[in-house]
Structure formats: structure tokens, C-alpha cells
Amino acid sequence: MSTMTLAYGRPTLADRLLSRSLVTDLVLVAAGTALTSILAQIAIPIWPVPITGQTFAVLFVGASLGVVRAALSMLLYVGIGLLGLPVFAPNADHSHTVGFAALVGPTGGYLIAFVFASAFVGWLAQREWDRKWLRTLLAFVGGTVIIYAIALPWLFVALSNLHVPNPLQATLAGGIYPFLLGDTLKAIFAAVLLPLVWRALGPVKKSAAKKDKTA
């Protein structure tokens, strides 16, 4: 008998801990949204883009949940922020931009990019890229590149519309230079953490496989 689920394809880390079901999937999607919301508040609120733990949450959710559930989790995160909940990272004055203003502002491209980056890392995780340190590192680097590729042009346009002098330099200075070290450390941390967790769950994986064969 089949069980309705939002997930498909090879199991991810979440599937090693919990059985796939629609209820479980909804809980995991909400948990991914909550984790991203919480780490967004751990921030150094500089302008135009705050330094946060948010990008790690985005990529970790992808690696843990897989492509579909990760994308839904990020869509939910963006959606509740656009509806007015203060889940986005704080501004330089410690206030929160919510609603449509957050989407059209300097950090709006990051919000859009989170969906694609998380789904990309989830897609790789379902191809077991999170089992070995080098592939995990490359997956997180790839997800980070996707964030930059979408967010930086958006930031450039936003700064240009705000008539910031030399918007290209301002984009680089405010959107990439402060984050390179942190993003590198996040990728290294994930490359160490995820393979270790998979290794620790090795006996669980074998037991589950045996159970599936006898079911």
C-alpha cells in the first residue's frame, strides 16, 4: 500500500530519521521554514545586506529534505514574510522589512534565490552528494553560487534605483565581500557535519533496508 508523500526519489537525511508520509512532510517543511526564520534573526544588521546564519539554514534544509520539500519550505518562508510576519533578517536599524517592500528592496533577490538554492542542494542530496565531504562541500558552494547569481543583479538594480553612487562597487562591497569568509566556513562545516551524521546513521540505514525487504 502506498503512502501519500510530498517527497520522491532517493531518501534524504530526514527520511533516515522519519518515515515518509504527508503529515511528516508537512512538519518537515514547517520545521525548515522555522529554522530559516530563526537563523535569519542571528544577524549583524548592516546595510544593504545583513550578515546572518540564514544561508546555512537554506542549504541545510535542502540537504536534509530533498528538492521538493526544501523548495516548499523556502516558498513558505518567503510567503509568510510577504504576508507580514517578521521572519526576514533585520535591517541596519534592527527593524524588519515585511510584505512586498522586502521583495522589491535590496535583499529581495536573496529571498527568491533561497528557493532555487535550497532545491538545488536538495536535488544533489537525493543523489547522495551529502554522504562524502568533498561532494557536500561542492553542493554547498554550488548553492551559494546560485544565491549570488540571483541576488547580486537584483541588489545592483535596487541600489541603482536608490541612486547609490557607483552601484556596481556598492553591490560588491555590500553583497559579496563581507560574506565570502562566512560562506566558506559554512560550507566547510556542512562538509564535516553531514557525512558524519550519515556515518552515525549507518546501522539505522541497514536495519531500515532489511525491514523494507521483509515488509
Residue 4 lies in a domain: no
Would you state the pLDDT for residue 92?
83
Residue 215 lies in a domain: no
Residue 89 lies in a domain: yes
Q: What is the pLDDT of residues 98-151, one digit of tens each?
A: 888 999 999 999 999 999 999 999 999 999 999 999 999 999 999 999 999 999
Residue 7 lies in a domain: no
Q: What is the mean pLDDT of residues 33-41?
A: 97
Q: Could you give the residue ranges of the DSSP H alpha helices within the chain?
A: 13-17, 22-41, 54-65, 67-82, 100-104, 108-125, 133-161, 167-175, 180-200, 202-214
Q: What is the mean pLDDT of residues 193-205?
A: 84
Residue 214 lies in a domain: no
Residue 1 lies in a domain: no
Domain boundaries, position 185: 13-202
CATH code of the domain containing 190 = 1.10.1760.20
Would you state the pLDDT for residue 202?
79
Q: What is the pLDDT of residues 180-198, one digit of tens each?
A: 999 999 999 999 999 999 9
Residue 158 lies in a domain: yes
Confidence of residue 203 (pLDDT cuts 50, 70, 90): low
For every residue of 123-139, DSSP letters joined together read HHHTTTTTSSHHHHHHH
Residue 175 lies in a domain: yes
Count of domains for the chain = 1
Q: What is the pLDDT of residues 69-105, one digit of tens each?
A: 999 999 999 999 999 999 999 988 888 888 889 999 9
Would you state the pLDDT for residue 96?
86
Confidence of residue 214 (pLDDT cuts 50, 70, 90): very low
